[in-house]
Structure formats: C-alpha cells, structure tokens
A and B are shown apart, each in its own frame.
Chain A
Amino acid sequence: MLKIDHLTKRYGATVAVDDLDFEVKPGVVTGFLGPNGSGKSTTMRVILGLDHPTKGRVTIGGKEYRELKDPLREVGALLDAKAVAPGRTARNHLRALAASNNIKRSRVDEVLEFTGIAAVANKKVAGFSLGMSQRLGIAGALLGDPGVLLFDEPVNGLDPEGIRWIREFFRSLANEGRTVFVSSHLMSEMAVSADQIIVIGRGKFITQGSVDVLTATAKGSVFVRTSDNTKLTSTLRTRHGVVHEINDNGLSVEGLSSDDIGRAAFESGIAILELTPQRASLEEVFMDLTADAVEYGGHAIDKTSDE
C-alpha cells in the first residue's frame, strides 16, 4: 500500500505539491487526476525518492522508497518512456536494471515477451517509436514483479490498440491484488480505466472517490421545455433555481431536481412539454472541480487580453 502523508514539495518559491494526504489501496486501479502542472509528476518523483519532500513523507508498505532493498522488486514505475539511454539496446537496458536489483536474467526475456517487444530486443532504443518505448518502460516496471506500480501519463502517444491493451493490463494487475496508481490529465481516460480517482489541482487535494460517486455528487442540471418558459423562469427563481435560457424553447435549470420543477410547473398551471435530467459527464465534473486550479488556462478567443 502506498501512503502519501501530508506531502509538500517546493521548488524555490513555487509550491508544486501542497499538503497532499491520501492512500492508494491494493486491488484496484487508482487514477491520479489533475490538469497539467498540478503536481502529479512531482508527487510521482517524490514517491520514487527522486526528489526530496519539503515536508511530509511517502511510504510504501511502511517504508520510504530509499529504505527499500532491491526497490524494483517492490515498486515498478514508468515515469517517462523516453528517459532511456538511446544508444543501448532494449535487452541491455533491462539486463542492467535486472542486475542492479539481483533479478535473474531469464526475467528479462519474460518481460520482453509479455510486453510484445521481444522481436526488437536487440535494437537500439533510439529507433523506438513512442509506443515501443512505452512498452519497454512497462517491461522495466514489471521486471521485479512488484506489488506497487506507478504510471505517469501512460496513454500519451499510444495508438488506440495500445490504449486498449494498457487498460486491460492495469485491470489485470489490480485483479492480481497489486496497487496500481496511474496519473492522467484526461478525465475520459480515467473514467474507463480507473476504479478510484484522486483529483488534485495546483498541488492541492480536491476530492477522492469512485468514478460513480464523483459523477453522482456533481452538480446536475435539468432541461425543461414548457408552454410558458418566461413564467416558469420567475417561478423557479423564487425557489432558488438557477435558470439559463438555452434557446427559444428550452431552459436549463440547476439547483432543483426534476421533481421540484415538475411540481412548480403544475402549481403555476404551466404545461410541461419536455423534462430531462442532464447527468454531468465525468469530464464536466472534472472541469468543474478544477476550474479554479488550472495553472495555464486559455482565454476565450473573442476576448482579447488587455493587460
């Protein structure tokens, strides 16, 4: 099990991670979600002992990463698939990794076979496509048959076939009882590949929960079309509904359920022509949650910046 214990990481004046505190449990795929620059990679680097925490600590089964003997046997990680010496062959890269952690050589061929790159094992990594590099990175992560696996933005650059493969692969790792922690800035990706999601923004914890729970707690809206939209609007506003006119014949209502709206219309003598609850997509939930926490937001195109 992976435990992030009140972790803070500063780089000079920049606070990359601000008092993050959560646990990642075995047996499920846990998504680590946040916009770009929200501190996901920093958290991953601190977990792996690459960067030193400013405050707090991270433990894997009760131990800090640097205290692990033969760490590849306990934690497998893929941070950056291209971070491999380009002039070395895939097999030699894995052999060196295996040797450092007393992993037997036959395991190198096993992981090469499993990730489907055995045919290019004796080729230099420089010529690898991003997809092949990702597979090599995964082979390296699996080398020590670890109980905890970390993947930083693993689907970036993969083709649809590769994405499907990696999703099934995460699922099978979790089913084997391993802890699987996958970061992404794509909610849609997490929605299909993760069971549990931890959302952060600007280095801060925002929320945590299962995909279903997160969607359910999100602000939903109701689309309604009636014989007298203007009258209904004022009625709903007195009941604290937030009403937007969508076009000439419909309203979008937030803060009131479809039951509330139906009764209000009945009491005011308005005929309902259409009443549809709009369930927020996970993408909208995410946008909503992180709206204040986007580091590099784009401006609307029609508004020119007047700084």
Chain B
Amino acid sequence: MNNEETLLSVTKSEWIKFRTVRSTIMGVIVFAVLTIGLGVLITATIRAHWATAGFGRRLTFDPVSTSLAGVLFAQFAVGVIGSLFITSEYSSGAIRTTLTAVPHRLELALAKLLVLVLSMLVVCEVVCIATFLIGQAIFAGVVTPTASLSNGADLRAVLLAGVYLALLAVLGFSLGLILRQSAACISVFVSILLIVPIIMLLLPQSWQNSYEKFEPSNLGTSMMSVTPRADLFGTWSALTVLLVYVVVVFGVGVTMLQHRDA
C-alpha cells in the first residue's frame, strides 16, 4: 500500500468535485465582487473626503488595511464555500458515495483540506492583491501615506489577508464536519464572527479589553494591518491564535467524521 499515492488520487478526486459544483463558483464570484467592490467604495469615499479629514485621522491612516476593508465582509462568502464543500455532500446524500469510494476517512478529510487550502489561497491572494492595487490606484496623488507591494510590511499585510481568508474557509469546512447541515453550519459560522463580538459588548469593559483580541475578525484585522492596534495581538501572534482555532476545530471535526455513522 502506498498511502501517499492514495492521498494524491483522493485529492485529485476532491479537486474535480470542488470545481464542478456551482456553489464553489458562485461563492468565489460573490467573494471577489464583495472584496473588490467594497474596497473601491471605501477607498473612493476616503479619497473624496481626504481634504477635510482631521489631523488625527491622517496620522493613524493605514492605506493597506483600509483598502482591504471589504475582506471583513467577504469572509462570510469564504466561510460558506468551506462549509458547503462538506455539508452539501450530507444534504444530497453524496457523502455515502464518497465514503464508499474512500473509506479511509482521515485521508478523505486531509484531501479535502488540501484542495480547499490550496485553491482558496490562490483565489484569496489574487483577489486581495487586486483589491490592494486598485485601492492604491484610487488613493494615488491624493491620499498619503501610500503603500506598495515592494514594501515588505505592506506586502506582508496583503498576503496575510489572503491567508486569513483561506483559514476562515477551513474553519467553515471544519464546522461543517461537525454539524453536517449547511444551515446550522453557516449560522454558527456567522455567529462566531458577528454575534460573539456583540455579546462581548455587553460584558464589563475590563473583560472586553482582555478578550476582544481573541475574536476572529480582530485577529484578521491584526494580520492585514501594517501596524496592528496596540490593544490587539501583533501580526504573527494573531496568525498563531487563528491557526490554533482552526487546528482544534478541524481536529474535532475529523474525529467526529471517523467515529460517527455516515
């Protein structure tokens, strides 16, 4: 038995499945339109009002994270892509065909993970770089400071925005392994990103200050900022915390996949 060979063939199979359903294609289009569209909207608005912006606003202005602000909306599309990659198989019943072809469930989960991470990294990086470039073109000549991909810190922030999104796709996928239902999975995913921060606002200020930085969106904000806010995690710590989340949820998902009846 050659396990590497098998993992490769299962990955090929999952790649065919991933790109041949409409939900993936639609998800990618929605994601790209949201990220780029909101990026254009936000950067254009800032350019239009730059002349009247206050000194403080200008001083703390981050041209990178501002141009990528659409990411914090588009992350939901990415989560849906990841979720549906597994939950749609449960809703159609196709999971039984899949598991009949690939009874080794860890291998199946790893193959799906590989397909999702690689494809989403490519898509998200391309979209983030495009959004960034369009944003900087809109800022050019009016808004300062400017940012450029030739600047190491700027490039890092742009690339980590793509990494953040790819990891959220994996988070959605891992929740899907646990919950198996599309609606439940997407609700939980949205709750984690939107509702938890709202609940956080109801907590005492001191708790907010300690826990706010653990919210996934704030980890994302740190990752795509040139200079992260002082009350949040630094860039690499934020990436590490997010990785821990994803690995834990994926681990739970795979364990459940292995032990439950399909």
Cα–Cα, bound, A52→B105 (Å): 13
Cα–Cα, bound, A92→B92 (Å): 16
- Given the known interface contacts A80-B93, A86-B92, A96-B17, the answer about A49 and B12 at a Cβ–Cβ threshold of 8 Å is no
- What residues on B are CB-neighbors of A68 within 8 Å? 103
Interface contact B22-A140, CB-CB below 8 Å: no
Cα–Cα, bound, A82→B93 (Å): 8
A14 to chain B, nearest CB (A): 13
Cα–Cα, bound, A84→B20 (Å): 13
- What residues on A are CB-neighbors of B22 within 8 Å? 87
Cα–Cα, bound, A102→B5 (Å): 9
- What residues on A are CB-neighbors of B9 within 8 Å? 99-102
Q: Which of B94-102, B157-165, B227-235 is near enough to bind chain A?
A: B94-102
Is B10 close to A, CB under 8 A? yes
Interface contact B96-A83, CB-CB below 8 Å: yes
- What residues on A are CB-neighbors of B89 within 8 Å? 85
A217 to chain B, nearest CB (A): 36
Interface range, A side: 35 or more
Is A287 close to B, CB under 8 A? no
Interface contact A96-B103, CB-CB below 8 Å: no
Q: Which of A69-77, A226-234, A250-258, A266-274 is near enough to bind chain B?
A: A69-77
Interface contact A66-B104, CB-CB below 8 Å: yes
Query: Which label, helix, strand, loop or mixed, suits the secondary structure of the B interface?
Result: helix
Is B4 close to A, CB under 8 A? no
Is A97 close to B, CB under 8 A? yes
Interface contact A97-B93, CB-CB below 8 Å: no
A264 to chain B, nearest CB (A): 58
Chain B, residue nearest A86 (CB): B92
In A114-141, which residues have CB < 8 Å from any B CB?
Answer: 140
Chain B, residue nearest A68 (CB): B103
- What residues on B are CB-neighbors of A80 within 8 Å? 93, 96
Is A48 close to B, CB under 8 A? yes
Is B23 close to A, CB under 8 A? yes
Cα–Cα, bound, A49→B107 (Å): 15
Cα–Cα, bound, A97→B12 (Å): 10
Interface string of B216-238 (1 = CB under 8 A from A): 00000000000000000000000
Interface contact A45-B261, CB-CB below 8 Å: yes
| 21 A-B contact pairs sorted by A residue (CB < 8 Å) | A48-B99, A49-B100, A49-B103, A50-B262, A51-B261, A66-B103, A69-B1, A80-B96, A82-B93, A85-B89, A89-B20, A92-B17, A92-B20, A96-B14, A96-B16, A96-B17, A97-B101, A98-B13, A99-B12, A99-B16, A100-B12
Given contacts A45-B96, A100-B101, 19 further A-B pairs with CB under 8 A are: A45-B261, A48-B96, A48-B103, A49-B99, A52-B259, A71-B100, A72-B101, A77-B100, A79-B96, A79-B100, A80-B96, A84-B92, A85-B88, A85-B89, A88-B17, A92-B16, A92-B17, A99-B9, A100-B9
